Amino acid sequence: MADLSSLKGVSESDRRMIADAEAMLGPEPSAMGFAKNLFWGRLRSEMLFPYPPADPDETARCEALLATLDEYLENEHPAIQIDQEQRIPRWCVDRLFEIGVMGMIIPREFGGGGFGVTSYNRALERIGRSCGSTAVMVSAHQSIGCKAIVLFGTEEQKRRWLPMLATKSLSAFCLSEPNVGCDAGGQQTRCTVAPDGQHFILNGEKKWATSGALSDVFTVMCKQSVTDPKTGKTGDRVTALVCTPDMPGIDIFQKNRSKCGIRGTWQARIRFKDVRVPRANLLGQEGRGLNVALTCLNYGRCTLSAGMLGGANTAFEQAVKWAQTRYQFERPLADFELVKQMIARMAARCRAMDAMLYATTAMLDRHDDDIMVETAICKVFCSEQGWLVVNDAIQIMGGEGYMTENVVERILRDSRINLIVEGANEVMRSFIFAYGGKQLAERLLGIRQAVAWDHHDSVGHNLGRIFRTLKTPGFFGAAASVGAEVFLGVRRHAPDAPDVHPSLEAHAHALAHAVREHSHAFIKSSRHYEEAIVTRQAVQARLADSAIYLHAWACVLSRLDADLRAGRSGPAFQQDRAASLYFMDTARRHVRESLDALFHHDDPAMLAAADATLAHFATLPNGTFAIHEASPNARGTGRPVDTSQIPQFPGDTPGGGGGANGNGLHDRSVGYQPTSPSPSGPADDEIPPELTTRLQP
């Protein structure tokens, strides 16, 4: 296949971006996942139909754990206090360790529960129903914190760290930096091999490390100059190192910042100055740290979705009951059609989120090789659909929904971050388009390069290349098929529809037809936009949205098929059935509208409006606005930020403190020490000192 970085008419910066992305992602898996096949016009039914079942023995173990967890969440967990005081009391963390939640994904031989991904996400969904802050804390600890050690640690590393991470100690994942958000490969924190060869010297700064000031272990991503043994070329690659906060040179100089939502979670800012990290703490191989990070993010994107699903379900259920019991104009709100529309949307979205999430976790549990597009789709879909559910719930409840004591406003604040973290949804859409369609795009580029006329080459060279290519076995048929689609609009046959319950066959055939149209639109738009598609993110997003809704449609269809075959009945099933049918109808419309907009859109007017706005704001002084601390063209020119009335969470010592002298691990009295020694005791009465501390600007 052709190399996408060889595209002509692409800027050098975009060419480097493509090459860096390909190096970051590594070689393609040997078998394409369900979502990638959609771009080829294939419906790999065997990967999703019948709906993947859960292991019955593990399900029984999980149910027992969830029963204990439910009792704790219902009777002990101080969700309101956590939000108001901006901290999760230590006794809550200890109770979650005691219940077994904090070590669910750690193997039994190291003191954990040894649960699979599906069971773990069920627990995160339950926690998300009650407390978004706690769901994030649990997810950060397991999905990306200790998960890196579970997946990539040596046996010695696992014996050293996993037992305490399963029973008492938090872990953190240090990826983001002041100038590194979604650009995970742009690390500026660096490590070098020490002269003794037995240590790495680590320097840099990390930001947004959830529970970093409270953790005994954290995984740090850093750049390292690495020589490729095959090519002999040296270049920067990302390496993963395990650090502990007692290492000299580590300065946790900011424990947390006050936030809009998930206020009980703490995101640390950590500085590394000539930190000597033993070689024994290398996670995986030198230069392969992004593989560690991206693999862990597959799990984190699922647990983010699980927490969002839990919160959305709570908001949905509260709003429906409110609509039935709140009267206006002498009848309940539920009698009005526009309220019914919101109720139907919420039911359909929650059903689709559930179906997609647990189909994705099943793929992870069975160790599918190619899963990155599916987890990205799951994150984008669940974060956005969940946000829309909570927004509708607020609307139904009106002014009361905006009040703190009615919970839904907290879910709204906790939910908004999900569209940003674990890969901002705009970046994820470009990823879904690019990585989902990469292999098909390479095939199309290869055909084009093989038979297209190159005006930079001689006539003889062009003719010789074209004739040699046409004589290649199988090439002419492939090229003719693509040419017929691109130039004549000839569609291939639709893929076989999945074998489903007779009442769902029309939906299955409609799905197969939509998959064909998606692939045809990808091929057609690739020809229409040519190299420009590399930077046309609005176009990419439309193809990504089509793939997202196709995947959601397939998950919902499979889930409903399984319910019908299992003989489910009763009011709850009738709700699920109606919501599923409604969602599949809306998914069909979304796919059609996304593909139509590839060639019928208002992009020129949109871009003109954006450019005019940017030109106007370029004339305004920076001093009126907040400017990012790491801005390469305006650092230090923005308005001063007034934090005098905002709770601050500084490090433990006047300079921030570092290592054994003053990090959050060794002195948890600030904002994290319980006032009640009993794990099931009353909520803390004491306001932590930093909530009354105001740092003067």
* Cβ atoms of residues 90 and 674 within 8 Å: yes
Q: Is there a catalytic annotation at residue 422?
A: yes
Report the DSSP beta bridge partners of residue 254.
269, 650
Residue with tokens 């089509």: 546
CA distance 95 to 138: 12
| C-alpha dihedral (671, 673, 675, 677), degrees to nearest 10 | 160
Pick the catalytic residue: 409, 422, 485, 690?
A: 422
CA distance 658 to 248: 7
Tell which residue, 78, 185, 174, has the closest CA to residue 134.
78
Radius of gyration of the chain from Cα atoms?
27
| Helix pair 289-325, 12-25: axis angle to 10 deg | 90
Tell which residue, 293, 218, 308, has the closest CA to residue 262.
308
| C-alpha dihedral (515, 520, 521, 526), degrees to nearest 10 | 130
SS (H, E, C) 539-593: HHHHHHHHHHHHHHHHHHHHHHHHHHHCCCCCHHHHHHHHHHHHHHHHHHHHHHH
* Cβ atoms of residues 144 and 300 within 8 Å: yes
Tell me the CA distances in angstroms from 33 to 21, 30, 517, one per residue in order. Answer: 19, 10, 19
Tell which residue, 211, 366, 346, 203, has the closest CA to residue 271.
203
End-to-end CA distance of the chain: 58
SS (H, E, C) 450-479: HHCCCCCCCHHHHHHHHHHHHCCCCHHHHH
Characterize the bridge pairing of strands 250-257 and 327-328.
unpaired
| C-alpha dihedral (436, 582, 379, 536), degrees to nearest 10 | 50
Tell me the CA distances in angstroms from 394 to 13, 326, 336, 373, one per residue in order. Answer: 44, 14, 16, 32
Three-class DSSP category at 23: helix
CA distance 409 to 261: 10
* Cβ atoms of residues 495 and 43 within 8 Å: yes
Q: What are phi and psi of 206, to 5 degrees?
A: -120, 155
Catalytic positions, please? 422
